[in-house]
Structure formats: C-alpha cells, structure tokens
Copies of this chain bind each other. A is one copy, B any other.
Amino acid sequence: MAALDATHDPARRSWVASANDPGGDFPIQNLPLAAFRRAGTREPLRGGVAIGTEVLDLGALNALQPFEGGAAQALAAAAQPTLNALMGEGAALRVALRAALSEALRTGGALEARVRALLVPQSAVEYGLPAEVGDYTDFYASIHHATAVGRLFRPDNPLLPNYKWLPIAYHGRASSLRVSGHGVERPLGQVLAPGAQRPQLIPTRRLDYELEVGVFIGRGNELGKPVPLAQAEQHVFGLCLLNDWSARDVQSWEYQPLGPFLAKNFLTTVSPWVVTLEALAPFRVPWIRPSEEPPPLAYLDEAGVRRAGAFDLELEVWLDTARMRASGAPPQRLSHANFRDSWWTVSQMVTHHTVNGCNLRPGDLLGSGTQSGPKPEEAGSLLELSAGGKRPLTLTGGESRTFLEDGDRVVFRAWCARAGFARIGFGELSGTVVPAVAPAAAPAPPQ
C-alpha cells in the first residue's frame, strides 16, 4: 500500500483555480494520467495529467527538462504516445513524478510561470488509450453479480462451487479496446430465439453494459515467475473505469463450453484517466472474508490484504436516452455500487493470474468484472436490473428499458471520498449506442 505524504495533504491547493473546487474530480491530490492530444489535430499522443478542468501536457513539460533524477526519468517515459513505458518503470519512479508534479502545480510552487503555458483545457482535447494493451483479462470478482447472473442462467445452481475459491476470469479482446466516447455499434450475432430450431444472424436485441473497474499493470513479471500476494501491488499502476459492452442473447447461445467470445469482443471501453495507486492510498479499506465463509488458500491470503486490500470506490451508472436529450430532461442514475464489496481484491487477481507462471506485461489491462453490490439497486448491468429482461425498468419521463436501445448514452462515474481527504474522481466513461449496420447481402447458398 502506498504511503501517505505531502501530496495527499488536503490543505494543499493548486494555482490552477479549477483544481480547488471541492466537488471536482481532479484536485491536486489526484493527478491521474492519460494519453491525449489537442482535439482535431494530428499531433502525436503524449501523456497528460489532469488538474481541475485542465490537462498538463507532459510532452511539452518534458521538453523543459524541469525535473531531476527519478522524476525526470519518469517524465520522459510519460511523454511517450502511450503510458506503457511509465507503467513499466514501477512504483518508485511513479511516486517521484507524482511528488514533482504536485510541487509544480501547488500554490506557491516555483514552476508556475513556466508550467502555466503548458495547460490545455480538457474540453479541447481528445484521448487515446492510456496504454497499448498486450493482453486484456476480465475477472468476475463480484459475488453479487455472479450470483445474480448465475440465477438467470442456472436457477437451481446460481453460484458454482469454484467461485469462492478462485478469482474466475477469462481472456478478453485487446484489439477492440477503445477509449471513452467511442460509438457503440449494435453488433450482429448468432441468436437462438426461445423455442426455435435454428439460430439466426441478427443485430443483438439484448445489448448491455457492465460496470467494471479497470486495472492497468505496471511492472511486469517474467514467464514462469509467479507474483506473491504481498508483492502484487508492486505490479499495479492504477485504476480506471471499464465498460464491458455485452450482447446477452449472443452470449447465452455461444458461451458453452469455452466462455464468452463474440458477445463481448465487439467493443470494450475504458475511461481516459488512470488514477494511480498513490492517489487512492487514503481510501484503502480492509478486505473482509466473512467468518462463516471458507478462508482462501494460503497463496491468496495475506495480512496486508486483510488490513487494507480493498478500495472504497463509489461507482455509478447513468443513462441518457435520445428522448431525454430531446426533451431537455436530465440523465437518470440507474445504479450505484462500491468496489469494496468485491469478493476478490486487485492484488488477489494479480497473484492468481500469475500463480501458474503466466506473465503480465506493463500496460496489460485487468477488468474487475461487473461490480454489483448486495442490494438490488446496486446491480452493475441491465441483465440484473431487468431480471434477464423480465422486469422492464421504468425511466423518468415514462420510457422503459430492458436492454439498451439505439441512441442511449451510458455514463459511468466513480470517486473516492473520505472525511479529512480531498475527493478523488475518475472522470467519466461514456458511450452512445448506434444502430447496427445492415449486413452485406449474403451470397445465395450453394446448391
């Protein structure tokens, strides 16, 4: 767990006035990182750090060579088109960069005059993926989600016997990862209608979101070298929001016996800003395995995890329909959850993933799996909120939803808050559903 230091001091203020808004996502205590360029340009992507409503251009800052030592080395890495190099440097250099950036941006800091010219309004930038993701792994770490979904697919056997013993996961698709704002084209897929004898290829009728936390890997591990639990967080860079867009009708037809494939790999989106473990340090909470439940095996159990392995991180899903926008009605919050309710922690995911020697590389992405809380209104997908499509949600304004309709805009938000500390926000992750493109005319089947 990262130590608390002057960068966490809630009294520290920034000369960037918008950073001192107590309700904002990006105070000087946060300093999340993204890959960005000015919108509409062909500039190379480079690292940026959010401060209030601005982005500090780390490419331009690096050209000034304002730092020394580890912070200078980390800044050079952060000036690249992706954050992979910075991620691979590990925690010590990341901490040095954080301290130097906090000093540069704090009220009274000596660099204000030189740095002020390097700010770009967030409203005037576009983002790339934070990292080139070598492999994307999606976990299933919320027992509330696993139980609710299991009940829909297997009413008599909702939670499989392995669930409480190991962090279930599968490999996702890296090529179709995109950053927030990418359009969500309704995918085609094979679907077997209830009672039908043969499947059809149709645009999915059960398009869903999944509210997840994304985890970017920092330092990697070599093939054949498992990461012990006590060291797992040394391999984590930071967290973001992740939407594992899902086609439920495709999923239920295709997923046995090898798991989800085309139901998930048409698009996965992440928020542009990655909040580092250091920024999250004040919000670590105990990971609790209820005493009536079996303790995990030794390799997944460790005092530090029990003391502060979880994150007190609030998560929200908002829906903004085409009709809401047309009528000027505000978006509606569909659900909220907290990452602290996850059955497995980030460090347990890392250790389990590597226990067989599997190697993680800097910039690899883990999804937490849909984060649903214990209460019905804390469900992180429409599949759960609508009970598999059987109980439509009534929206303000009279609309209803079982699954997503064309024009629906889904927004995730997340933040940490604790008395005596600055609020740490994640910004937004959004995507709007666009209609399926009609399939190219199929050739006539052969005789």
Contact = CB atoms under 8 A, between A and B. Distances in A.
A207 to B, nearest CB: 11
B171 A170 contact: yes
Given A174-B135, A262-B358, A254 B295 contact: no
Interface in A324-383: 352-353, 355-361, 364
Interface stretch (A99-107, A297-305, A310-318): A297-305
A172 B175 contact: no
Interface stretch (A9-17, A72-80, A84-92, A193-201): A193-201
A73 to B, nearest CB: 25
A188 interface: yes
Contacts of A303: 443, 446
Interface SS majority for chain A = loop
A437 interface: yes
Interface string A229-248: 11000000000000000010
A316 to B, nearest CB: 26
A171 B172 contact: yes
Given A301-B446, A437-B224, A257 B134 contact: no
A358 B175 contact: yes
Closest 6 CB pairs of A and B: A259-B259, A187-B356, A171-B171, A298-B442, A170-B258, A303-B446
Given A160-B257, A165-B190, A175-B361, 15 more contacts: A134-B175, A162-B253, A168-B258, A170-B170, A171-B172, A173-B358, A174-B174, A175-B359, A189-B356, A262-B356, A266-B357, A266-B358, A298-B445, A302-B445, A303-B446
